[in-house]
């Protein structure tokens, strides 16, 4: 599916494909690597280059991404004295070892732009500012170490850290969110560009929640706003949704991921989002010379409307963005002697500072709807019941339930805890029979209880349940 998806993105006006690197699928067991089939990272990057596009490599190796364990492999938990994402020798050793392996693979295949390849940016760590305070001084020293370690790998392309205000040295701090044109505090040094690593096209979905939607108009407004304020790169998160198969999704997150993206879960174009953004990208490309070499200026046109324009003195190179922050009413304003009509909360793009070629609220793209047809094959499937034997007695190992993750090694979500309760009926008054009570306090997602092999109750979510055992 890769070539088709990449070409759909390219036809949509994109010129960069961004990917995470998933440590827990590439090294599921310590020292045993998997880069085969759908995990062939080199082939994926090469396919991007073969289709005339650039690539961004987000290494992490903690990636979040609503992915199981944030991309960290389970075996890492069993390393003695390890503290994840901290100035901790065991963690830094294994992190650096994995990152170096990936970088060496890319270098060997000459995939960095400095070698003529498609990779123009790499990312180390991920959204660390959200947890940094919990680590105190160990967090400050860790992020400095991580940035300097990455720079020492000499890839010949810039490194970024998203949502990291204190990104060290030449590492570029970037923005994540929906409206970075207005929320980003800016690069932490004047020689760094403004980069946006995640412009959320919707929101991931958790079980029980309705689909999250973000309009094509709002997404387009945010992108136009970003470039009008000297932004250099926008990455959509996600541009293509997908399916998190098996145990890859994080806890509570559905297997459907960003189905509301411009390319939906199945790789189909979701209109008008895909088409409206395609028109936006075309308009921005018409402004390239002015954005790259023009001098930025701002002019107030009314209480709620401003013009941001880039002009190269002595030439005809000029591009303007007329932005209305009036969310209720449309306005007509004058710019350079001409009148322009602006719908409420919209941006008009003028690649020659005269003619409007695009407005973020004016959708001319087609609309579509997705229909489903029942599978004839599925309707012919025969379903069989599977019954698992309930263990009657296990070897006494612990008087209390163990921590689930350590017990299952992340290979399953299911585990049995069995215990025996001896009730001396001679101490019971026949008139006032006292039934034993089993009280279960758990942070698990779900629990099912049996007594003497008989089902007696269940509950889900974060639970504290009390089950009265009827001992007949």
Q: Does the pLDDT value for residue 112 go beyond 80?
A: yes
Whether 122 and 104 have beta carbons less than 8 Å apart is answered as: no
Strands 437-442 and 463-468, how do they pair?
A: antiparallel
Q: Does the pLDDT value for residue 382 go beyond 90?
A: no
pLDDT of residue 467: 46
Tokens of 79: 């390393």
**Residue for token pair 């710019």:** 335
Q: What are 257's strand-pairing partners?
A: 242
Whether 148 and 173 have beta carbons less than 8 Å apart is answered as: no
| 454 assigned to active site | no
Whether 67 and 60 have beta carbons less than 8 Å apart is answered as: no
How many angstroms separate the most distant Cα atoms in the chain?
104
Q: Does the pLDDT value for residue 169 go beyond 60?
A: yes
Tokens of 248: 């890859």
Active-site entry in 125, 127, 260, 265: 127
Percentage of the chain lying above the pLDDT 90 cut: 75
Read off the pLDDT of residues 216-265 as tens digits, 9 standing for 90 and up.
Answer: 999 999 999 999 999 999 999 999 999 998 889 998 899 999 999 999 99
Q: Does the pLDDT value for residue 464 go beyond 50?
A: no
Lowest mean pLDDT among 246-255, 353-362, 385-394: 385-394
Across residues 400-420, what is the average pLDDT? 78
pLDDT of residue 202: 95
Percentage of the chain lying above the pLDDT 70 cut: 91
Sign, CA dihedral 129-72-257-208, equals negative
pLDDT bucket at 13, cuts 50 / 70 / 90: very high
Q: Does the pLDDT value for residue 303 go beyond 80?
A: yes
Return all residues near 36 (Cβ < 8 A) that are at least 6 apart.
Answer: none
Across residues 54-62, what is the average pLDDT? 97
SS3 assignment, position 464: strand
**Residue for token pair 């009730």:** 423
**Residue for token pair 């660390």:** 128
Lowest mean pLDDT among 20-34, 377-391, 428-442: 428-442
pLDDT of residue 428: 56
pTM of the model: 0.89
Across residues 158-175, what is the average pLDDT? 97
Active-site entry in 27, 66, 125, 198: 198
pLDDT of residue 431: 47
Q: Mean pLDDT, the chain, as a whole number?
A: 91
Q: Does the pLDDT value for residue 443 go beyond 80?
A: no
pLDDT of residue 470: 45
pLDDT of residue 377: 76
pLDDT of residue 460: 72
pLDDT of residue 422: 73
pLDDT bucket at 391, cuts 50 / 70 / 90: low
Read off the pLDDT of residues 199-226 as tens digits, 9 standing for 90 and up.
Answer: 999 999 998 888 889 999 999 999 999 9
Across residues 391-409, what is the average pLDDT? 71
Q: Does the pLDDT value for residue 296 go beyond 90?
A: yes
Q: Does the pLDDT value for residue 406 go beyond 90?
A: no
Q: Does the pLDDT value for residue 315 go beyond 90?
A: yes
Whether 158 and 172 have beta carbons less than 8 Å apart is answered as: yes
Whether 167 and 218 have beta carbons less than 8 Å apart is answered as: no
Q: Higher model confidence: residue 425 or residue 383?
A: 383
pLDDT of residue 386: 80
| 127 assigned to active site | yes
């Amino acid at each position: 599916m890769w070539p088709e998806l990449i070409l759909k993105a390219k036809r949509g006006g994109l010129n960069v494909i961004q990917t995470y690197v998933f440590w827990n699928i590439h090294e599921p067991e310590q020292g045993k690597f998997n880069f085969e089939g759908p995990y062939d990272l080199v082939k994926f990057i090469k396919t991007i280059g073969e289709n005339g596009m650039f690539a961004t490599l987000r290494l992490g190796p903690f990636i979040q991404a609503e992915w199981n364990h944030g991309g960290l492999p389970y075996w890492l938990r069993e390393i003695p004295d390890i503290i994840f994402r901290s100035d901790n020798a065991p963690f830094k050793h294994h992190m650096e070892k994995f990152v170096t392996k990936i970088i060496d693979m890319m270098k060997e295949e000459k995939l960095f732009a400095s070698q003529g390849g498609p990779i123009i940016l790499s990312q180390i760590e991920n959204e660390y500012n959200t947890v940094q305070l919990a680590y105190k001084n160990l967090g400050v020293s860790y992020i400095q170490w991580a940035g300097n370690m990455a720079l020492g790998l000499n890839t010949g392309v810039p490194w970024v850290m998203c949502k990291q205000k204190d990104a060290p040295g030449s590492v570029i701090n970037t923005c994540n969110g929906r409206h970075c044109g207005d929320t980003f505090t800016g690069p932490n040094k004047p020689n760094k560009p403004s980069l946006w690593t995640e412009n959320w096209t919707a929101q991931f979905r958790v079980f029980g929640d309705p689909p999250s939607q973000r309009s094509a108009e709002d997404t387009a407004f945010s992108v136009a706003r970003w470039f009008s304020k000297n932004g250099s790169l926008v990455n959509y998160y996600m541009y293509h949704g997908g399916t998190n198969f098996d145990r890859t999704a994080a806890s509570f997150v559905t297997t459907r991921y960003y189905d509301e993206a411009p390319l939906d879960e199945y790789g189909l174009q979701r209109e008008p989002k895909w088409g409206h953004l395609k028109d936006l990208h075309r308009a921005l490309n018409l402004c390239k010379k002015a954005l790259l070499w023009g001098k930025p200026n701002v002019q107030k046109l009314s209480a709620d409307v401003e013009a941001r324009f880039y002009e190269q003195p002595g030439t005809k190179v000029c591009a303007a963005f007329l932005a209305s922050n009036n969310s209720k009413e449309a306005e007509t304003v004058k710019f350079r002697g001409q009148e322009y009509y602006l719908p409420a909360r919209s941006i008009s793009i003028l690649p020659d500072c005269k003619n409007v070629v695009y407005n973020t609220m004016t959708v001319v793209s087609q609309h579509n709807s997705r229909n489903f047809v029942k599978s004839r094959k599925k309707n012919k499937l025969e379903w069989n019941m599977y019954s698992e034997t309930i263990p009657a007695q296990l070897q006494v190992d612990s008087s209390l339930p163990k921590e689930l993750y350590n017990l299952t090694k992340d290979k399953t979500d299911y585990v049995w805890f069995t215990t025996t309760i001896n009730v001396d009926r001679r101490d019971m008054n026949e008139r006032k029979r006292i039934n034993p009570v089993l009280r279960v306090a758990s942070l698990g997602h779900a629990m099912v209880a049996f007594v003497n092999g008989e089902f007696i109750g269940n509950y889900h979510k974060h639970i504290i349940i009390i089950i009265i055992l009827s001992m007949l």
